[in-house]
Amino acid sequence: MAGSTASSVRSKMKAKGALDAGRTNSPPEDVANLHQLEAQHGILGIVLLLFCGTVSSYLCTYLPEALTAADLDRHPTAFIAERAWDNLQVLNDFGPKPTGSRANELGAADYIRREIEKAKATAHAAQLVETAHQTISGAYPIAFLGNPLTSVYRNAQNLVVRLAGRSEDGERAALMLNCHYDTVASSPGASDDGGSCAVMLEILRVLSRAPQRNRHSIVFLFNGAEETPLQAAHGFVSQHRWAGEVRAFLNLESAGSGGKEQLFQAGPQHPWLIEAYGRAVRHPAAQTVSEEIFQSGIIPSDTDFRIFRDFGHVPGMDFAHTINGYRYHTRFDTIDYLTLPVLQRTGDNILALTRELANGEELGRVGSDPNLAEGYSVFFDVLGLFFVSYSASTGQIVNVMLAVLSLAVPLMELCRQVRRVGERSVLSQTLVGLLGTVCGTAASVGVVLLVANRLDAVGRAMSWFSTPYLILGLYGCPVILMHCFAHRLCSHWFSDNKSPLNLTQTVRARLIGVNFFWTLLIIPLTLANIRSAYIIAVIVLLSLLSTILTSVLGYQGQPRRWLALHLAFQIPTLLWATKFYHLLVKLFVPITGRMGAGTNPEYLIALLVACFGLLCVSYLVPLVGLLKGTSELTARMTVFAMIAFLLGCCTQVGFPYRDESNGEPSVQRHYVTHTLQVAHRDGAVVSEGAGFLFREMDRNAVRVIRGVAKPAEAVPMRQMETCRTMLFCGVPFYSIWHQIRFNNYWMEGPSPAIEKHTLPTFELVRVHQNSSSVRQYSFEIVHRHQTCVQSALIIAPKPGVQLVDWSLMDTVPGTIKFNGERAHFVLITYGLADDAPWTVTFAFEYDPEHLQDGAGAKLFDVSWVNTYWEHGDKHTDEFRKLIDQFPEWAHVIPSVAVVNITAH
């Protein structure tokens, strides 16, 4: 009896000891309801997300105050935005300035030349300012979308200034700044690229008045043919005497109308350029992800950077304004939509960077030191406040280390807290967190793609085009809902009532699962040399710092303090993630208005929101496990989504386009060409037709085109009658972007009014039989009148015939394919008019035994296309009436074209 009692006492003491031990492993607030928050606290996470998004949006668009002429005495060596603004006002007032137009070749060119001479006249005595007016002709091969073309330019203009450096006696090395003063038709081009030229004129004034020369020379290139595309830049790098001195360049561009100038590509390689940017620039705006996106080809644009890189073999940096891309290449790209702070910020940064590069030692060494040219950089600004850069190889090491540490450190810290009794539960809940994130990602992508598909199916594509905030409801809310549902379901399916972990520890383990998810993503991206993995690395770093600080402060057993610290670290995470959301939405939403109708733009925006929504909420969604219920949160998110859907589908808010009445135009673009088609045979006209060609620039364009065409019918281009009888359907082929990538529509109509004496001519003057299998044709091209006209040659050799040589350049590029036919495509741009004829020759090789008509056989078909831009005073009444039928929220770019097709 006594022994039994002692044994009972010992058993009770062991049980009490075990209970005490369990309590030491858990915080004093183990009771479940003490770890649970009221359901309405879930809304606070959404409020935090919206607050951080608002702050990052403000920081993305913040601009410094502008300096005026009144500040000149206090800041004699500073960039003065008001002086640049005066230059921009004059350039803007010339109106549209396409290459070949009087406004470009005579007006803008002459004005910039006079401003250069003024800067030269007011230069400090210590400075040597040299000027050159280059008129060039040339040709080069280039490809767009994998389609080769030969780009030919005649009498294009460059205005060049050289500010001599101190190192004139040794190896000459120069930094080049480039802008273009030409514009596309129908656009004054205040931002693209008049603002950049105004900035360069002011930088020239400031540097030329300095009492001491820079270490290296600086070349200022004002080029007059960039939109043609990229032709004057080629003329400079291939023919100008100063081109050989250039060791690096800064290219100033625009794909929007205002905002910050983004450094969106650099190099290639040459990491010293990025290092110089980091040292010099006070207001950084640069992201590696922008470089990788642009170089992927997804953005339908190109810049002179490509010419300097590929033909000049010079490294450089490419800058562009990207905000308000709605106005890019439209009549609304005017000075009315720009501000002085835009010029001030750009001028401050480019002036500081120019001084840094022109006085650094790298510019003089880059031609002889191959080490400077090696290696890629990872670079980014942090909310525009400061700049970070490091080598790509360092980035790989950092990414892998962060990925490993983000798993190892929180696992060790949490397992140490629960010791042996809960380690297996920690691992299992980590996997639950990973599964919830994976399922939430998959579900959110699936749902937003379904929404995108349905919006397009009901004819409401691009309802967010003018009202981007709708994106948050249409796609942002479903993304958050899917992640909440996924984590809640995984928690329910894999709940363990016997788990030794308390609720807070369970949630912390699931957050480790989020780290695991990012690790599984960041390591493959790093191994694939995708430098944009830094975006994830920063988020993982913040999570790791939160874990380390939790351990240092001893908050493991204090749920409320741990939660406060976790949410505090979510603020920089959300600021970082929402910055990229704003950056890419502001870039891609306007681009959907000029990417054609072949791809549903809803998919692009949906995927963008799904990806950056995941970045924003991945470390917030597991916290729903702390809520007593999620019904209130999910109900409100569903209501927000439904409101956005109703606004987008059933109200004027969801109408994609706006005119200028609200001060924020976001227009639909339309190219309309009044076309005359003429087919010749042996000098006689065998067929003739006329009509209007419409280009389908976005997903909704075809409905407007068909509405404008009524009561006539607009037929798809490839269904035209002339597709069976004329080369390349007899369409005015001038752009690979517009004719191959986009859908086009044709409406028959009367002939356009053509002044034949202004038409560039293409006449056969000689045929010579070089050998029994090679025949050479000589043509004369004449462009005598100062009109804005572009020519195109489409040369289609007959079966068994090959174009083997020509006088345009040393090589003959391959052919492009259209309507089942293959042909060589030559684009010709004219700058200044010239009375002198230009002779071009083509040599064709063939097998004489296979020619059906013997020596008189036709070897090739040629389409000679001439397209007039800025030709409004010659439009017919029918054409004007057609243009007037387009709504106010449409931007129409009219042109007149003549297509002459002949067999030779």
| 368-418: pLDDT as tens digits | 889 999 999 999 999 999 999 999 999 999 999 999 999 999 999 898 887
Structure token pair of residue 230: 């990229």
Backbone angles phi, psi at 369, to 5 degrees: -110, 100
Q: Using CA atoms, how far apart are residues 841 and 803, in angstroms rounded to an integer?
A: 11
Contacts of residue 418, defined as CB under 8 A and 6 or more positions apart, other chains included, come to 25, 425, 426, 500, 501, 505
In this structure, the answer to whether residues 271 and 353 fall within a common structural domain is yes
Lowest mean pLDDT: which of 25-34, 266-275, 782-791?
25-34
> The domain containing residue 222 runs over which residues?
76-384
Question: What pLDDT, on a 0 to 100 scale, did the predictor assign at position 35?
Answer: 52
In this structure, the answer to whether residues 113 and 245 fall within a common structural domain is yes
Question: What pLDDT, on a 0 to 100 scale, did the predictor assign at position 853?
Answer: 66
Burial group, residue 383, by CB count within 10 angstroms (0-12, 13-18, 19+): middle
Is 287 inside any structural domain? yes
Q: Categorize the per-residue pLDDT at 30 as very low, low, confident or very high, splitting at 50, 70 and 90.
A: very low
State pLDDT tens for residues 245-270: 999 999 999 999 989 999 999 999 99
Question: What pLDDT, on a 0 to 100 scale, did the predictor assign at position 501?
Answer: 87
| Three-state SS at 751 | coil
CB count, 10 Å around CB of 16? 10
State pLDDT tens for residues 212-246: 999 999 999 999 999 998 999 999 999 999 999 99
CA 22 to chain centre: 58
In this structure, the answer to whether residues 237 and 330 fall within a common structural domain is yes
Question: What pLDDT, on a 0 to 100 scale, did the predictor assign at position 691?
Answer: 95
Question: What pLDDT, on a 0 to 100 scale, did the predictor assign at position 13?
Answer: 45
Question: What pLDDT, on a 0 to 100 scale, did the predictor assign at position 170?
Answer: 58
Strands 821-830 and 789-797, sheet pairing: antiparallel
In this structure, the answer to whether residues 512 and 443 fall within a common structural domain is yes
Is 344 inside any structural domain? yes
Question: What pLDDT, on a 0 to 100 scale, did the predictor assign at position 31?
Answer: 41
Q: What is the mean pLDDT of residues 360-366?
A: 93
pLDDT exceeds 80 at position 40: no
Q: Using CA atoms, how far apart are residues 854 and 842, in angstroms rounded to an integer?
A: 20
* Domains contained in the chain, number: 2
Structure token pair of residue 88: 């921009």
Nearest-CA neighbor of 254 among 183, 309, 313, 177?
183
State pLDDT tens for residues 509-549: 999 999 999 999 999 999 999 999 999 999 999 999 999 99
Question: What pLDDT, on a 0 to 100 scale, did the predictor assign at position 255?
Answer: 93
Contacts of residue 9, defined as CB under 8 A and 6 or more positions apart, other chains included, come to none
pLDDT exceeds 90 at position 476: yes
CA distances from 665 to 58, 423, 778 (A): 21, 59, 50
The residue ranking higher by pLDDT, 493 or 739, is: 493
Q: Using CA atoms, how far apart are residues 693 and 672, in angstroms rounded to an integer?
A: 6
Is 139 inside any structural domain? yes
Is 82 inside any structural domain? yes
Is 807 inside any structural domain? no
Three state DSSP letters for 174-230: EEEEEEECCCCCCCCCHHHHHHHHHHHHHHHHHHHCCCCCCCCEEEEEEECCCCCCC
Is 401 inside any structural domain? no
In this structure, the answer to whether residues 115 and 250 fall within a common structural domain is yes
In this structure, the answer to whether residues 343 and 426 fall within a common structural domain is no
Is 133 inside any structural domain? yes
In this structure, the answer to whether residues 374 and 284 fall within a common structural domain is yes
CB 228 within 8 A of CB 104: no
Lowest mean pLDDT: which of 2-16, 90-104, 666-680?
2-16
Contacts of residue 6, defined as CB under 8 A and 6 or more positions apart, other chains included, come to none
For the chain, the average pLDDT equals 91
pLDDT exceeds 50 at position 10: no
Q: Categorize the per-residue pLDDT at 169 as very low, low, confident or very high, splitting at 50, 70 and 90.
A: low
Q: Using CA atoms, how far apart are residues 370 and 822, in angstroms rounded to an integer?
A: 43
In this structure, the answer to whether residues 218 and 307 fall within a common structural domain is yes
Lowest mean pLDDT: which of 11-25, 246-260, 344-358, 715-729?
11-25
In this structure, the answer to whether residues 367 and 446 fall within a common structural domain is no
Q: Using CA atoms, how far apart are residues 130 and 143, in angstroms rounded to an integer?
A: 35
CB 322 within 8 A of CB 294: no
In this structure, the answer to whether residues 370 and 419 fall within a common structural domain is no
pLDDT exceeds 50 at position 450: yes
Instruction: Identify the domain boundary among 654, 680, 715.
Output: 654
| Three-state SS at 752 | coil
Q: Categorize the per-residue pLDDT at 335 as very low, low, confident or very high, splitting at 50, 70 and 90.
A: very high
pLDDT exceeds 70 at position 26: no
Q: Categorize the per-residue pLDDT at 209 as very low, low, confident or very high, splitting at 50, 70 and 90.
A: very high
CB count, 10 Å around CB of 655? 16
Q: What is the mean pLDDT of residues 781-787?
A: 92
Nearest-CA neighbor of 789 among 226, 99, 154, 149?
99
Question: What pLDDT, on a 0 to 100 scale, did the predictor assign at position 280?
Answer: 97
State pLDDT tens for residues 731-773: 998 877 676 778 899 999 999 999 888 899 999 999 999 998 9
Q: Using CA atoms, how far apart are residues 459 and 466, in angstroms rounded to an integer?
A: 16
In this structure, the answer to whether residues 591 and 645 fall within a common structural domain is yes
pLDDT exceeds 50 at position 722: yes
Is 889 inside any structural domain? no
Instruction: Identify the domain boundary among 639, 654, 669.
Output: 654
Contacts from 852-857 at CB under 8 Å and sequence distance 24+? 857/798
pLDDT exceeds 70 at position 1: no
pLDDT exceeds 80 at position 39: no
In this structure, the answer to whether residues 609 and 474 fall within a common structural domain is yes
Whose tokens are 């700049």? That residue is: 387
pLDDT exceeds 70 at position 2: no
Domain of residue 159, CATH code: 3.40.630.10
CB 736 within 8 A of CB 147: yes
Q: Using CA atoms, how far apart are residues 98 and 90, in angstroms rounded to an integer?
A: 16
Instruction: Identify the domain boundary among 654, 688, 719.
Output: 654
CB 347 within 8 A of CB 203: yes
Question: What pLDDT, on a 0 to 100 scale, did the predictor assign at position 852?
Answer: 67
Q: Which residues does residue 320 pair with via DSSP β-bridges, in sequence order?
A: 253, 262
